[in-house]
Chain A
Amino acid sequence: MRDDAGRDQEDLAAIRSVLNGHRNAFRALVERYQPAVSAVGRRTLAAREDRIDFVQDVFLKAFAHLGQFSGTGRFYSWLMRIAYTTAINRSARAIPEVATDPEFLSRVWYADREREPDRTTERRALWDAIVGEIAGLPAQLALSVEFFFVLGLRYREIAEMTGVPVNTLKSHIHRARCLLRERLDRSLWEDQYDV
């Protein structure tokens, strides 16, 4: 999810509105970020019931603590931190094990195959490169790489959330992007995007 100053402003306006007593203004935030929270749940929790309950739990916590959101960072990052902490607390294991099965990870992060069939093949090809990088990494680091590419979180945000040092993360993103470059060299869609 790419950062967008306009979106951040909309988030702040919605938050102010909620804090001024307009509870329904929170709906805009839920609509905007439910897919990302849901994806974190799919990635970290095994049982389906847990995952449905997880989304609810994350947003209820965010709503209850909305007054504590300082507004100095992105709401999206603040919410993802709540999601990550909630997932860890719910998970039987401290940090979810990394499944390096590309099929599983694609299913987790790209639940929109039907909506964008033309992009699915491209994503899968690129995703294979990312999976090549995360295979064998410690679980927390692998998840951090996924958060960078798929959720669009920044280095600093991921470091604060997961405790993975920024420089460690950077070196893995560097390697993953090298693999992406190799994949793109062989890609069919070079002509399509004129790159």
Chain B
Amino acid sequence: MTCKEAQDRVLTRDQDESFDAAVHAHLLACPRCRRLAQRIAVADEVLRHTSAADPEQVDAVMATIDKNGAFPTRAHSLLRWLLGGALLLTALPVVRHSDPFRFLLGSGLGPRVDLSVTVAIGSGLVVYMAIFVAAHGDRLDAMIRNLPSRRIFRER
């Protein structure tokens, strides 16, 4: 690794980023680059914001929270929602091909039952998806924003 490469890594280092072995080896061998890394670490530390909390503001926030009396609600796990949806989708063909349903279809009410059940299933799925999107809007947004293809696009 050249000094320029090592210095570029030092100068663009992220917060708490660990250098790989090649950079470490270079810093061990090169006093000039090591000195730069030490200086930048000190500068980063000095620049960091370190004020103490304002007790009045902390008390004011907590007083308002106590006054409101509400508790934050737990968000239902995304996995649980997806499992619920998968279960629902699996259950539909099972119900559709079950003996009681086939019996109903074979009776005089067949077409009406078929239409009603289809409408009910469709409505159920739409409601499920609407609730799912409403409950996970923020997380879905964050996931979409973090898709690898979106990152590449944004970094261009």
Contact = CB atoms under 8 A, between A and B. Distances in A.
A165 B72 contact: no
Interface in A129-180: 130, 148-155, 159-160, 163, 165-168, 170-171, 173-174, 177-178, 180
Majority SS at the chain A contact face: helix
A171 B40 CA distance: 16
A93 interface: no
A31 B53 contact: yes
Interface string A171-195: 1011001101100100000000101
Contacts of A111: 51
Contact of A3 (B16, B39, B73, B146): B16
Interface string B56-80: 0110111011101011111100000
Contact of A174 (B12, B61, B62, B145): B12
Interface residues of B, number: 49
A65 B72 contact: yes
B154 interface: yes
A34 B36 contact: no
Nearest to B63: A56
Given A34-B53, A65-B138, 6 more contacts: A23-B71, A34-B54, A65-B72, A163-B154, A173-B11, A181-B39
